[in-house]
Amino acid sequence: MAGTSRARVVHADDSQEERIAPATRIRTVLGPGSGCPHLTRRLVEIADGARYDGVTGPGGELWFVIRGSAELDAGRMRAGRIGQDTGVWLPAGVSFSVTAGPGGLELDAVRLPGGPAGAPGAGAAPAISRLASQPVQVTGDRRFRVLHGPGTGCSAATQFAGQIPPGRAPAHRHPYDEVVLILAGEGLAHVGGAAHPVRAGSYVYLPPGEPHCLENTGRAEMRVLGVFHPADSPASKEPTG
């Protein structure tokens, strides 16, 4: 990364794999050890019929199903069905069990920090949000849907999915940490004074105040999945000139 920028652009294939069971593997793509001090973003892959058990950390977790389906037991939620393009909010200290359906499961998991900004509040309940059920919001020529955030039971962070048409938007910055996953398409991430190629499976970390923009160099729409911490709106941005 050029200059003194703290932003990061990485790809899942370049991340170290941790196999916690024969049928489950996890790649920690972004986290404190890779220059992202507050959020940890992992790619979790579970084989057909396999089970993944765990407990969320002190700030809770935001999940998004990239591919496949599963049954989820988490806290007071029993046998919740999750499938492609589903977001899941798991508050702090929740025990969970995920059993992958036919074809397996691939999900993005963002672990939030604890403390005042990360604490979801006592008694918070897990929640499932399906992308197609959320209203479309517009900022400039870009569209997005918020899966989780304030007002939906998750006060700690915002999870959203966006669509970027071909072309490049003006550079801007946000007052919060942002981690972005490219779900589909190809282009360039303009951050830190450099243009970094991105494609499906690329991850971008943007610290508060970092000027940036994503350019879609393809012919089809680029699909992205973002998480902001602390919570805010994807439309909350400041032009950089």
Please check whether residues 124 and 30 belong to one and the same domain: yes
Please check whether residues 117 and 42 belong to one and the same domain: yes
Q: Is pLDDT at 235 greater than 80 in this prediction? A: no
Ranges 13-22, 100-109, 120-129, 229-238: which has the least confidence: 120-129
Cβ atoms 169, 222 nearer than 8 A: no
CATH number at residue 154: 2.60.120.10
Please check whether residues 140 and 92 belong to one and the same domain: no
List phi, psi (to 5°) of 154. Answer: -120, 100
Ranges 73-77, 89-93, 99-103: which has the least confidence: 73-77
Q: Would you give the distance in Å from CA 138 to the centre of its chain?
A: 19
Question: In the chain, which ranges are continuous DSSP H helix?
Answer: none
Please tell me the distance from the alpha carbon of residue 107 to that of residue 68, in angstroms, as a whole number.
9
pLDDT for 122 equals 45
Q: Would you give the distance in Å from CA 53 to the centre of its chain?
A: 20
Write down which residue in 64, 99, 130 finishes a domain: 130
pLDDT for 195 equals 95
Residue 23, phi-psi category: left (phi > 0), alpha (psi -120 to 50), beta (remainder): alpha
Residue 157 within any structural domain of the chain? yes
- pLDDT, average across residues 205-231: 94
Q: Is pLDDT at 19 greater than 50 in this prediction? A: yes
Domain residues for the domain of 142 are: 132-239
**Domain count across the chain:** 2
**pLDDT tens digit sequence for 100-133:** 999 999 999 999 998 654 454 445 688 999 999 9
Please check whether residues 168 and 230 belong to one and the same domain: yes
**pLDDT tens digit sequence for 40-64:** 999 999 999 999 999 999 999 999 9
Q: Which residues are registered as beta bridge partners of 173?
A: 238
What's the pLDDT band for 177 if we cut at 50, 70, 90? very high
What the block records as the tokens of 156 is: 């700690």
Please tell me the distance from the alpha carbon of residue 114 to that of residue 143, in angstroms, as a whole number.
30
pLDDT for 79 equals 63
Residue 78 within any structural domain of the chain? yes
Residue 188 within any structural domain of the chain? yes
How would you class 102 by CB atoms within 10 Å of its CB: exposed for 0-12, middle for 13-18, buried for 19 or more? exposed
pLDDT for 170 equals 84
- Express as a percent the part of the chain with pLDDT over 90: 68
Q: Could you tell me which residues come within 8 angstroms of residue 213 by beta carbon, excluding any fewer than 6 positions away?
A: 168, 169, 170, 171, 172, 190
Please check whether residues 136 and 233 belong to one and the same domain: yes
Threshold 0.85, pTM exceeds: yes
Please check whether residues 96 and 69 belong to one and the same domain: yes
Q: Is pLDDT at 208 greater than 70 in this prediction? A: yes
pLDDT for 136 equals 96
Please check whether residues 123 and 151 belong to one and the same domain: no
